[in-house]
Amino acid sequence: MTVYPDYFYAEKDFDKSHMGYKPLTIPEGVEAQPLAVPPLLAPDKVDGNDIYYTIEAQEGESQILPGKKTKTWGYNAPLLGQTLVVKTGQRVHVRLKNSLPVLTSFHWHGMEVPGPITDGGCHAPVYPGEEKDIEFTVKQPAALTWLHAHPCPSTAMQVWMGLAMGVVVTDDNEARLPIPKNYGVDEFPVVLQDRTFHDNQLDYRADYDPMGVFGEVPLINGVVRPYIDVTTQKVRLLFLGGSDRREWRLHFENDLTMTQIGGDDSFLRHPIDVKKLLIGPGERQQVIVDFAGYKEGDVVSLYTDDFKLLEFRIHAFEKDDRELPFNIFTPDDPAVNSEAPVRHVTMDDHDKINGLRFSMERIDMKQTLNSVEYWDVTNTNNSASGMLHPFHIHGAHFLVVSRDGKKPNPNEINVYKDTVEVGPGETVRLKVYFQNAGVFMYHCHIIEHEDAGMMAQIQIVDPKEPDKTYKLMDMETITNAFAEEMGVEPGEVFMPGMDVEDMDMGACFHAAEASTSRRLVEAVTAASRAGHAGHDASSGASHHDATSGASHH
Ligand SMILES: [Cu+2]
């Protein structure tokens, strides 16, 4: 089998080649500890093919560094979340509960569910103290997808606080494959993130950079210096690029080969052997590592660039020489609608799509349900000095057809994806397929870019209901809601880059600052109320009418 020795992207385009890049460090005194494996989320109820869950966004505290605990957010956990496992064909009912002091949303990144409410972008806020019920049928093959907060333009800050969790789809094909699938024993989700700490606390405002925020400390499943105890010959790793800005350039010590078996939304048609793996924000890559050449007591490490990220401590294991079949997945590859023109999407500067910043009430494109179309996605950054922008589409999967008319990377052929890195000056052709109607966002997944407006939306039209319209969120409503929660005037809420006039950049980040704890919110509220004696607290009172589907007080 061919072994691919490189990252498939030009070194000049790597994040480390750019201004503002921050290398990783391990703070003094941090001991190695086992990789945290998020527990599996237990269902509330199972009724035949219907399964019921509750997901609660909550505040908590986490022992990340020695000394003071860090105030963090998570789903049914103080930080990140529990892992939700669903099966293809299942009808999934989820009660979304917001116990945070601010509004949030629950976005199913990689799940092909209807938009815009179930999808959980900015049109589907769940207000503090509220619950909202959604349901969907799992219509896709086995893969690691994820749930994260997406209340634009506060997505980056909420993800920074910890709101991200794995959503694993399983199916019969996966069950048949001779691959490790004993969760937490030989199969591990690996959520790759980075954070900066200020006196052990997160402070998004202090670290903000509109070009994308780098954290200085690695956080792998919430652990700074993790190791895995290897008790089987083969280990399966489900990597998730969960950082706001940082790319992960993974490779093993001693050039140990990784067999890549999956991408964002499916297995690959054929496994491939790689020495190096670049994972951009939002992307997922799935590999099997074979430790046959190691013995009890050995330690072998996974690096990003020259930084040691994760240790594998080898224990005694039984031989496992099961071979993967040549074909591990058969992607559907339906014909492209020949009547549809090729769509052209440009990613411009660090804050625009097709020359425009995001507007919540503007539909930028329409596509017919179940129609497969070509999208040519161009990164218009200067090819000498621009950056990779990870392009993501909600509620869809795509096949990567070509890069500048040439063959795509070997690990993005014949695999379903929803996020793809596009190099400066490069055009990537995608075959895009939506199997649910609604309004869906597409955007750069450098989260600061998306919050700044590098985002647009498409309406997927069911020919059976050609005139259907959707109630969309608007800037005034969401601004008033944030302002009310923070106890500040609407004009003082920072909405980066969106279609809002007269916003004072200097007054930004009340959101980031105030949201770090309820106490702080209360303090800010009290201070603000004292400072604005005439403030009318009812100014945001109409926000609960903004979307259908929200439960009521
Ligand atoms: Cu970008």
Q: What is the pLDDT of residues 450-495, one digit of tens each?
A: 999 999 999 999 999 999 999 999 888 888 888 888 888 887 776 5
Q: What is the pLDDT of residues 240-251, one digit of tens each?
A: 999 999 999 999
What's residue 492's pLDDT?
A: 77
CB 282 within 8 A of CB 241: yes
What's residue 547's pLDDT?
A: 36
**Does residue 150 surpass a pLDDT of 90?**
yes
What's residue 483's pLDDT?
A: 84
Average pLDDT over residues 170-199: 98
What's residue 494's pLDDT?
A: 61
Ligand 1 centre to CA of 388 (Å) is 7
Ligand 1 centre to CA of 105 (Å) is 21
Average pLDDT over residues 310-323: 96
What's residue 496's pLDDT?
A: 52
SS3 of 478, please? helix
What's residue 369's pLDDT?
A: 96
Cα–Cα distance for residue pair 467/418, rounded to 1 Å: 27
Average pLDDT over residues 280-289: 98
- How high is the mean pLDDT of the chain? 89
Ligand 1 centre to CA of 216 (Å) is 20
Structure pTM?
A: 0.89
Per the model's pLDDT, the better-predicted residue between 338 and 170 turns out to be: 170
Ligand 1 centre to CA of 157 (Å) is 16
Ligand 1 centre to CA of 370 (Å) is 28
What's residue 538's pLDDT?
A: 32
Ligand 1 centre to CA of 453 (Å) is 10
Ligand 1 centre to CA of 449 (Å) is 5
**Strand runs labelled E in 380-517:** 389-393, 396-403, 419-422, 427-434, 438-444, 455-461
Ligand 1 centre to CA of 350 (Å) is 5
**Does residue 543 surpass a pLDDT of 70?**
no
Ligand 1 centre to CA of 14 (Å) is 13
Q: What is the pLDDT of residues 125-145, one digit of tens each?
A: 999 999 999 999 999 999 999
How are strands ordered across the β-sheet holding 107-109?
84-87, 164-170, 143-148, 107-109
Ligand 1 centre to CA of 378 (Å) is 12
SS3 of 472, please? coil
What's residue 532's pLDDT?
A: 32
Cα–Cα distance for residue pair 518/466, rounded to 1 Å: 45
CB 369 within 8 A of CB 460: yes
Q: What is the DSSP letter of 43?
A: P
Cα–Cα distance for residue pair 91/49, rounded to 1 Å: 6
Ligand 1 centre to CA of 454 (Å) is 7
Per the model's pLDDT, the better-predicted residue between 136 and 153 turns out to be: 136
Ligand 1 centre to CA of 352 (Å) is 9
Q: Among 105-114, 528-537, 539-548, name the most confident range.
A: 105-114
CB 303 within 8 A of CB 309: yes
How many CA atoms lie within 13 Å of 220's alpha carbon, on the beta-carbon side? 25
What's residue 311's pLDDT?
A: 98
Q: Residues, the chain, total?
A: 553
What's residue 482's pLDDT?
A: 83
Cα Rg, the chain, nearest whole Å: 22
Element (H, E) at 155: helix 155-160
Ligand 1 centre to CA of 498 (Å) is 15
Q: What is the pLDDT of residues 219-248, one digit of tens each?
A: 999 999 999 999 999 999 999 999 999 999
Q: How many CB atoms lie within 10 A of CB 72?
A: 24
Per the model's pLDDT, the better-predicted residue between 71 and 333 turns out to be: 71
Cα→Cα distances 330→178, 281, 326, Å: 16, 26, 11
Cα→Cα distances 226→119, 190, 234, 313, Å: 33, 10, 19, 11
Q: What is the pLDDT of residues 25-54, one digit of tens each?
A: 999 999 999 999 999 999 999 999 999 999
**Does residue 550 surpass a pLDDT of 70?**
no
What's residue 488's pLDDT?
A: 84
**Does residue 380 surpass a pLDDT of 80?**
yes
- Would you place residue 359 in the very low, low, confident or very high pLDDT band (cuts 50, 70, 90)? very high
Ligand 1 centre to CA of 245 (Å) is 9
Element (H, E) at 127: none
Ligand 1 centre to CA of 191 (Å) is 20
What's residue 153's pLDDT?
A: 84
Phi, psi of 349 (to 5 degrees): 50, -130
Ion ligand 1: residue ranges with CB closer than 5 A: 389, 444, 446, 449
Q: What is the pLDDT of residues 70-90, one digit of tens each?
A: 999 999 999 999 999 999 999
Q: Mean pLDDT check: name the lowest of 76-80, 291-295, 542-546.
A: 542-546
Q: DSSP for 237-272?
A: EEEEE--SS--EEEEEGGG--EEEEE-SSSEEEEEE
CB 444 within 8 A of CB 390: yes
